Amino acid sequence: MASASSADPAGGAPRKGRGLLRGALLVLACLVALGGGLVASVGPSAVMALLPGSGDEAGEAHADEGSAPDADQAHAGSAAGGVGDDRIVVTPFQEIIVNITSTTATGRQTTRFLKLNLALAYDNTLPGAANIEERKLFMRDSIQDYLRQLNESDLQGSIGLVRLKAELLRRARAISDSDAPQEFLIADLIVQ
């Protein structure tokens, strides 16, 4: 037994050293991951500006370089349908109220009211855009037909909203016979 206890301290020292090495490697891996996350979130130029020895001149140069693309992106965004773009026209629809079906917790079918306020954003430079205002009443009729077929569960969650917008856009493009309709904007969607 004495020999077993004397081997324990000798065998424990290398194990203690391995444990410290593993701990140091774990801390190093965490620091590398933290640094990578920092670079990914704020960008390499901002991280370089934070490092000592980078100087204010280098930080200003990086800031100037970073602001030029942002200005170009903002200009490109306005040309592609951003705020102040004359190509995109938004036309509101009258409020739509329809009955939809709902299933209770006991499995019984009930009816609910769906109230929807929406507007159509379309590109007036595309062929067929002139037809949109003329065919707006037909679009409203098609929208009401579609909404009456829905269940309450079809509208739940963000995926339900995405599906609703996609189907409404598909119908608007079919009725206007053009790709001018770009998006439906939903102001109110209330199920009661």
CB 81 within 8 A of CB 123: yes
Pairing verdict, β 109-123 and 96-103: antiparallel
List the Cα angle 51/55/57 in 5-degree steps.
130
pTM over 0.85: no
Arithmetic mean of pLDDT, 64-89: 51
81, pLDDT greater than 90? no
Over 70: is that where the pLDDT of 189 sits? yes
Work out the pLDDT band at 67, boundaries 50, 70, 90.
Answer: very low
Other CB atoms within 10 A of residue 109 CB: 9
- In this structure, what is the dihedral angle of CA atoms 89, 95, 97, 98, given to the nearest 10 degrees? -20
| 22-53 residue pLDDT tens | 888 888 887 777 777 766 766 676 667 776 76
60 vs 53, residue with greater confidence: 53
How far apart are the C-alpha atoms of 138 and 148, rounded to whole Å? 16
Is the confidence at residue 97, as pLDDT, over 60? yes
Reply yes or no on whether the pLDDT at 137 is more than 90: yes
Contacts of 136 (CB under 8 A, 6+ apart): 91, 93, 120
Residue 19 banded pLDDT, cuts 50, 70, 90: confident
Percent of the chain with pLDDT over 70: 69
Reduced to 3 states (helix: H, G, I; strand: E, B; else coil), residue 90 is: strand
Give the single-character DSSP code of 1: -
